[in-house]
Amino acid sequence: MMYDLIIIGAGPAGITAAVYAARKKMNFLVIAKDVGGQTALSGDIENYTGYQFITGPDLTMKFEEHMKKYGINWKENEEVVKVTGVSGVISVKTAGDTYEAKTAIIASGARWRELGIPGEKEFKNKGLTYCATCDGPLFAGRDVAVIGGGNSGLEATLQLMKIAKSVRLIEASPRLTGDRIMQDKIRIAENVTVLENTKVTAVLGEKLVSGIKINTNGKEQTLPLQGVFVEIGLMPISEFAEGIDRNEYKEIKINSRNETNIPGIFAAGDVTDVPEKQIIIAAGEGSKATLSAFRYLARQKS
C-alpha cells in the first residue's frame, strides 16, 4: 500500500503531525516504538501553553487521547531501522516489515546521552539511572548524585531534593548552565551541594552503586552514595536516516519548512537541529512538518 505520509515517532512532534494529517484527510500511517517520547518521562511541566501545571505522563495521556480521537492508523512497538527516498518513493523499513509513502516525517526524538566512563554500563539500573522522574522514588532517604548542570540536571535535582537525604549536583563546566530560576531554588536547598568544574571519572560498587570517583581542578576524591542520575542531555535517534544530511551532533538538518535534503522527507522535534529542545517547540514543528508535506503533495503531478 502506498501512503500519502508516514510519520515516524509518537512524541509531541509525531502526535501533533498526526493530528494535522488527520484533519487534512491524508492517507497516512504512524510508526512508533512508544508514545510520548521524552514527555512521558518528564516531571512537572509549567511552560506548556494552556496548562499552568501538568506532569509529563498526564500531558502524554492528553496527546494520546487527542490522537485516538481521530482513529489514527498506527503501528505501535515497531522500531524503524532504515529510511530511504528514491524516485519519489519513501521506503520505511522496520524490524518486521517495509512501508512505502509519497512523503515521510521523521519525528523519532532523542535518547539519553551516556557518560562513557568505567562502571556506567555495569551499574545501569543497579543504582545508576537516566531518569529521575522514573526512578527517583526508589532512592528516598538516600545519598545521590545528579550529573549535569543544564536544565535536565536542574530539573532532576529539584525532584530529588524532595526525596533523597542529600543530592550532589555535579557539572563539568565552571558553572551551571540551566535556567537561573531553577539554579536559585537549588542553591538555597539545605540538602543540595553544587560541585562545579568537576568531572565524574568512574562509578563504583559491587552488586549495586556505592560511590563515584570525581576530579575537581585536578584533585581526585571518592564520594560514597547509593544513586547516580545521569542528566547530560539527549542523543538524536537518527541512525536509520541513510543519506539524510545531519550535523556534527547527528541531528537531522532542516530548513524553516522542515524539509531535509531529500525531497519528500521532512523532520520535526528533538531529532532535528532546531536549537531548543522543548515540548511546545516540538509540537509546533510537528504541525509545520505536516503542513509542508501536504503542500509538497499538492504540488506534485498526479
Query: What is the crossing angle of helices 180-187 and 151-160, to 10°?
Result: 40
Of the residues 135, 143, 179, 273, only one is catalytic, namely 135
Q: Say what the pLDDT of residue 2 is.
A: 95
Q: Percent of the chain scored above 70 by pLDDT?
A: 99
What are the pLDDT digits (tens) for 142-198?
999 999 999 989 999 999 999 999 999 999 999 999 999 999 999 999 999 999 999
What are the pLDDT digits (tens) for 82-120?
999 987 899 999 998 999 999 999 999 998 889 999 999
DSSP letter at 253 equals P
In the chain the domains, ranked by start, together with CATH numbers, are 2-111+234-298 (3.50.50.60), 128-230 (3.50.50.60)
Evaluate if residue 43 carries a pLDDT over 80: no
Evaluate if residue 39 carries a pLDDT over 90: no
Does residue 135 have an active-site annotation?
A: yes
Of the residues 44, 97, 134, 245, only one is catalytic, namely 134
In angstroms, how far is CA 181 from the centroid of its own chain?
A: 22
What distance in Å separates the CA atoms of residue 242 and residue 245, rounded to the nearest whole number? 9
Q: Is 86 left (phi over 0), alpha (psi -120 to 50) or beta?
A: beta
For residues 156 and 150, the answer to whether their CB atoms sit within 8 Å is no
What are 189's three cell numbers?
A: 536547598
Helix, strand or coil, per DSSP, at residue 38: helix
Helix, strand or coil, per DSSP, at residue 267: strand
Q: Say what the pLDDT of residue 302 is.
A: 59
Q: Say what the pLDDT of residue 191 is.
A: 98
Q: Measured between alpha carbons, how far is residue 86 from residues 24, 27, 180, 243, 265 in Å?
A: 25, 20, 47, 11, 11
Evaluate if residue 74 carries a pLDDT over 90: no
What distance in Å separates the CA atoms of residue 78 and residue 231, rounded to the nearest whole number? 27
For residues 83 and 92, the answer to whether their CB atoms sit within 8 Å is yes
Does residue 131 have an active-site annotation?
A: yes
Which is more confident, 208 or 68?
208
